Amino acid sequence: MAQLLQHLINGLAAGTIYALVALGYTMVYGVLKLINFAHGDVMMVGVYMGYATAFALGRDMRSSLVGVALIFAVAMLGCAFLGFLFERFAYRPLREKPRLTALITAIGISFALSYGFQLDIGFLPGASPRAFPEIIEPKEWITIGDRDVVVWNWQVISFLIAVGLMVALQYLVFRTRFGRAMRAVSWDHRVAALMGIPTDRVIALTFMLSSALAAGAGLLYAIKDTSVSPLMGLYVGLKAFVAAVIGGIGHVPGAVVGALVLGLVEEFVVGYAASTWRDAVAFGFLILVLLVKPGGLFGRVAAEKV
């Protein structure tokens, strides 16, 4: 029983991080119908930005509240800028082209980033994983019994941050002018432009928001996992994407639910079966969900126009 509870907690904690990355996928897909394959790699770049900031701040500074805030701010702003660049120079020129071209571009960016960061030329970090500095000291917040069930502080913190960001995002999308513009663009961006909505600006802001979210999620992931490598984005990104699709891509609460479900499924596979099967089970689950509900759990299948 205690073991089950522990797996439940770990699964939820993993799920919240997937959820934050998945939200970025879902937002971009919702507005542009583009699977931003490079999202996970933007996250990886954000983690390295945070890593560099943490080292620049030094040992004492980085574990203080100001230091942590600074690390998050640098990574999130840096990634927002990166997202802006990609949108402006890689995706915007392709907006009127078939969606496949944008997907291939995204895959290209993803490869350039994840493998480019593995080169050990100049400032690039090289292929070997590095230990992320301990910016939040791990503490056991709740222990039940004789350490039967342990809840770590970072689990609670990332859960709270994830839920907070999710609520904020839901508010942004459904209660603000910007959110209304986003929804209009996602409905039909040509008509939205005719109605006086600055389409380009809305799409660029969506990209920046999603990239900043990715950086935040990446840092939470790095705090939990403590090891960062150029390939982390490829795999975390893929999982988060799977989560977004399971929930119904383009649907904000769906992404969160999908991520939590995926986190739990993976945790139970690791806990009760074999950890090496984790990836296969994640994808198998995805295929199963898609076969039963092709639009994901919450998604709708749009009627095809003839």
Task: Give the residues lining the site for other proteins (CB under 8 A).
Answer: 35, 90, 93-94, 97-105, 107-113, 115-116, 118-119, 121, 127, 234, 238, 241-242, 245, 274, 276-277, 279-280, 283-284, 286-287, 290-291, 294, 304-306
DSSP string, 160-224: HHHHHHHHHHHHHHHHSHHHHHHHHHHH-HHHHHHTT--HHHHHHHHHHHHHHHHHHHHHHHHHH
Please list, in sequence order, all residues whose beta carbon lies within 8 angstroms of the beta carbon of residue 40, skipping any fewer than 6 positions away: 21, 110, 214, 232, 233, 234, 235, 236, 237, 238, 240, 241
117 vs 154 by CB, closer to other proteins: 117
14 vs 34 by CB, closer to other proteins: 34
Per DSSP bridges, beta strands 149-152 and 130-131 are unpaired
Nearest approach in angstroms of CB 89 to other proteins is 8
Nearest approach in angstroms of CB 68 to other proteins is 32
65 vs 274 by CB, closer to other proteins: 274
Residue 302 DSSP symbol: P
3-state SS class at 141? strand
Nearest approach in angstroms of CB 56 to other proteins is 26
Nearest approach in angstroms of CB 287 to other proteins is 6
145 vs 294 by CB, closer to other proteins: 294
User: Residue 289 corresponds to which tokens in the numbers above?
Assistant: 């969900």
1 vs 123 by CB, closer to other proteins: 123
Nearest approach in angstroms of CB 33 to other proteins is 8
3-state SS class at 131? strand
